[in-house]
Amino acid sequence: MNEIRDWADRIRKNTGLVFYGKEDVIDQILTALLCGGHVLLEDVPGLGKTILARSIAASLGGIFNRIQATPDLLPNDILGVSIYNSREEQFIFTPGPIHSNVLLVDEINRATPRTQSAFLEAMAESQVSIEGEIRPLPDPFFILATENPSEFEGTFPLPEAQKDRFFMTINIGYPSREAEIMILESQRRLTHPVNDLEAVSSLDELLKFRARVLALHVSPEVRDYVLNLVDETRNNSLFHLGISPRGSLALYKGAQAKAAIEGRDYVIPEDVIAVFMPIMRQRVIVKPEHQIRGIGIDEALRSVLDKVEVPPVPVR
């Protein structure tokens, strides 16, 4: 698995040239990429979410598009539309921005539910249905969507079933003082440094590594640890909604990808713990009576990690 570790190092270093001090966030996104999943970035504006998406796309050498979600955004604005060409006397399909390798959907919760639903088929099946015709999306296809968790006026909250379509929910957080100094110094130029990034990987390389991750060894002890964590969310009194089988599969695959990024060909319990929070954050609902007491989703999930016994590291 050294080849995947080296691949992750190349993208981490390249992205780190413009997105400073957040290697853990980059690793989480690489984990989602290796699993073929999509990412929801929940955080306040101005933390570099657009720069992060652009740098990942540039590092992979893929097609990058950006959608600014607004209430008047329509599904055809995303998917594409057929326009009549009078010279050729036929309709010509013009693809929308969703036909890309990396798609940034900025403030997805500002789009109406009708427009939000346009992403569901694309996220689940990597295809879209337009005017009665199924059109496949590029492979790989990766959505990075953002939403502001502190401002709700004029927004349409994502339904829980739609949030569950995201592989991970990541909180970027404010940069350290040292990282913010680097941000300030890097902007002493006319153009943003992200414009200078070159590809350090290929899309074919990513697709090849995805197949290898799926074959990674998971011992019965680690598999049972995954299921014990999931069972605890279903039986814990803090939660109104526990983890579905889609969530347990995501945790299983996420741990495989994390192990591959670390250069191992087998999964250890620490891999499961490392990806547990971002993978499960959007898949559970804390009961209102506990929310009133100040217990949020992250605190509830940490209590699950504390309660379930960690198995010994498997010997290979």
Instruction: Write the pLDDT tens digit of every residue in 193-230.
Output: 888 899 999 999 999 999 999 999 999 999 999 999 99
pLDDT at 212: 94
pLDDT at 158: 84
pLDDT tens, position by position, 251-274: 999 999 999 999 999 999 999 999
Size (the chain), residues:
316
- Contact (CB, 8 A) for 19 and 38: no
43: closest CA among 171, 233, 180, 155?
A: 171
What is the token pair recorded at 245?
């089988």
- Contact (CB, 8 A) for 12 and 26: yes
**3-class DSSP assignment, residue 133:** strand
- Backbone φ/ψ region at 99: left (φ over 0), alpha (ψ -120 to 50), beta: beta
Q: Where are the beta strands (DSSP E) in the chain?
A: 39-42, 64-68, 80-85, 90-95, 102-106, 127-130, 133-136, 142-147, 168-170, 239-241, 285-286
Which structural domains are found in the chain, ordered by start?
21-186 (3.40.50.300), 216-307 (1.10.8.80)
- Backbone φ/ψ region at 36: left (φ over 0), alpha (ψ -120 to 50), beta: left
Q: Please, what sign has the CA dihedral across residues 124, 130, 136, 141?
A: negative
Distance from C-alpha of 236 to C-alpha of 286, rounded to nearest angstrom: 10
pLDDT at 152: 66
Tell me how far CA of residue 59 lies from CA of 5, 9, 35, 142, 161, in angstroms.
15, 11, 18, 14, 31
Q: Is the pTM of this model over 0.85?
A: yes
What is the token pair recorded at 185?
């110094």
Contacts of residues 72-80 at CB distance under 8 Å and 24 or more positions apart, as own/partner, are 73/111, 73/112, 73/115, 74/114, 74/115, 75/114, 75/115, 75/117, 75/118, 77/115, 78/115, 78/118, 78/119, 79/118, 79/128, 79/130, 80/128, 80/130, 80/135
142-147 and 168-170 as β-strands: parallel, antiparallel, unpaired? Answer: unpaired
pLDDT at 192: 80
Distance from C-alpha of 245 to C-alpha of 226, rounded to nearest angstrom: 11
Question: Which residues of the chain have a pLDDT value below 50?
Answer: none
Question: Exposure of 191 by Cβ count < 10 A (0-12 exposed, 13-18 middle, 19+ buried)?
Answer: exposed
